[in-house]
Amino acid sequence: MSIGGRVAWFIGGALFGSAGLRVLSGRDARKVYTHATAATLRCKDEVMKHVELVQEGCSDIFEDAKQINEKRRKEEAEYIGDFAKTDETEFAEESSEK
Protein backbone atom coordinates (compact mmCIF):
# COMPACT_ATOMS: atom_id res chain seq x y z
CA MET A 1 0.00 0.00 0.00
CA SER A 2 1.36 3.40 -0.92
CA ILE A 3 1.89 6.31 1.42
CA GLY A 4 -1.07 8.13 -0.12
CA GLY A 5 -3.33 5.17 0.59
CA ARG A 6 -2.19 5.00 4.19
CA VAL A 7 -2.76 8.72 4.66
CA ALA A 8 -6.23 8.37 3.13
CA TRP A 9 -7.06 5.53 5.53
CA PHE A 10 -5.77 7.59 8.46
CA ILE A 11 -7.82 10.66 7.50
CA GLY A 12 -10.89 8.49 6.91
CA GLY A 13 -10.46 6.87 10.34
CA ALA A 14 -10.02 10.23 12.02
CA LEU A 15 -13.17 11.59 10.37
CA PHE A 16 -15.12 8.47 11.23
CA GLY A 17 -13.91 8.69 14.83
CA SER A 18 -14.86 12.37 15.07
CA ALA A 19 -18.29 11.67 13.62
CA GLY A 20 -18.67 8.74 16.01
CA LEU A 21 -17.89 10.95 19.00
CA ARG A 22 -20.46 13.46 17.84
CA VAL A 23 -23.11 10.76 17.46
CA LEU A 24 -22.28 9.18 20.81
CA SER A 25 -22.44 12.52 22.64
CA GLY A 26 -25.73 13.66 21.10
CA ARG A 27 -29.10 14.04 22.85
CA ASP A 28 -30.56 10.89 21.33
CA ALA A 29 -27.56 8.84 22.40
CA ARG A 30 -27.85 10.25 25.92
CA LYS A 31 -31.50 9.12 26.05
CA VAL A 32 -30.48 5.64 24.94
CA TYR A 33 -27.77 5.48 27.62
CA THR A 34 -30.23 6.70 30.27
CA HIS A 35 -32.85 4.10 29.34
CA ALA A 36 -30.25 1.34 29.17
CA THR A 37 -28.93 2.31 32.61
CA ALA A 38 -32.46 2.38 34.03
CA ALA A 39 -33.15 -1.08 32.62
CA THR A 40 -29.89 -2.34 34.10
CA LEU A 41 -30.86 -0.99 37.53
CA ARG A 42 -34.28 -2.67 37.32
CA CYS A 43 -32.58 -5.92 36.38
CA LYS A 44 -30.18 -5.56 39.31
CA ASP A 45 -33.11 -5.05 41.70
CA GLU A 46 -34.80 -8.22 40.46
CA VAL A 47 -31.60 -10.21 40.74
CA MET A 48 -31.06 -8.95 44.29
CA LYS A 49 -34.61 -10.05 45.26
CA HIS A 50 -33.82 -13.55 44.05
CA VAL A 51 -30.44 -13.53 45.78
CA GLU A 52 -32.11 -12.62 49.08
CA LEU A 53 -34.61 -15.47 48.68
CA VAL A 54 -31.82 -17.94 48.00
CA GLN A 55 -29.84 -16.65 50.98
CA GLU A 56 -32.84 -17.07 53.28
CA GLY A 57 -33.36 -20.61 52.03
CA CYS A 58 -29.69 -21.42 52.49
CA SER A 59 -29.63 -20.04 56.02
CA ASP A 60 -32.67 -22.20 56.91
CA ILE A 61 -30.95 -25.25 55.47
CA PHE A 62 -27.75 -24.38 57.34
CA GLU A 63 -29.58 -24.07 60.67
CA ASP A 64 -31.40 -27.38 60.09
CA ALA A 65 -28.10 -29.07 59.28
CA LYS A 66 -26.54 -27.71 62.47
CA GLN A 67 -29.45 -29.09 64.50
CA ILE A 68 -29.14 -32.49 62.84
CA ASN A 69 -25.42 -32.62 63.61
CA GLU A 70 -25.97 -31.57 67.22
CA LYS A 71 -28.60 -34.27 67.67
CA ARG A 72 -26.28 -36.81 66.10
CA ARG A 73 -23.41 -35.80 68.40
CA LYS A 74 -25.65 -36.24 71.43
CA GLU A 75 -26.81 -39.67 70.24
CA GLU A 76 -23.22 -40.74 69.62
CA ALA A 77 -22.16 -39.49 73.04
CA GLU A 78 -25.01 -41.43 74.68
CA TYR A 79 -24.08 -44.55 72.71
CA ILE A 80 -20.43 -44.24 73.67
CA GLY A 81 -21.43 -43.60 77.28
CA ASP A 82 -23.68 -46.68 77.31
CA PHE A 83 -20.93 -48.74 75.68
CA ALA A 84 -18.40 -47.57 78.27
CA LYS A 85 -20.79 -48.46 81.11
CA THR A 86 -21.33 -51.91 79.62
CA ASP A 87 -17.56 -52.47 79.40
CA GLU A 88 -17.10 -51.37 83.03
CA THR A 89 -19.86 -53.72 84.19
CA GLU A 90 -18.43 -56.64 82.25
CA PHE A 91 -14.95 -55.86 83.55
CA ALA A 92 -16.25 -55.72 87.12
CA GLU A 93 -18.10 -59.02 86.68
CA GLU A 94 -15.03 -60.70 85.21
CA SER A 95 -12.88 -59.41 88.08
CA SER A 96 -15.29 -60.67 90.69
CA GLU A 97 -15.47 -64.14 89.06
CA LYS A 98 -11.71 -64.60 89.34
The dihedral of CA 68, 71, 73, 75: what is its sign? negative
- Of the candidates 62, 59, 60, which has an alpha carbon nearest to the alpha carbon of residue 70? 62
Number of separate domains in the chain: 1
pLDDT tens digits along 45-94: 999 999 999 999 999 999 999 999 999 999 888 877 766 666 555 555 55
Share of the chain above pLDDT 70, in %: 78
pLDDT, the chain, mean: 82
pLDDT tens digits along 7-43: 888 888 887 777 766 767 778 888 988 999 999 999 9
Please tell me the distance from the alpha carbon of residue 49 to that of residue 85, in angstroms, as a whole number: 54
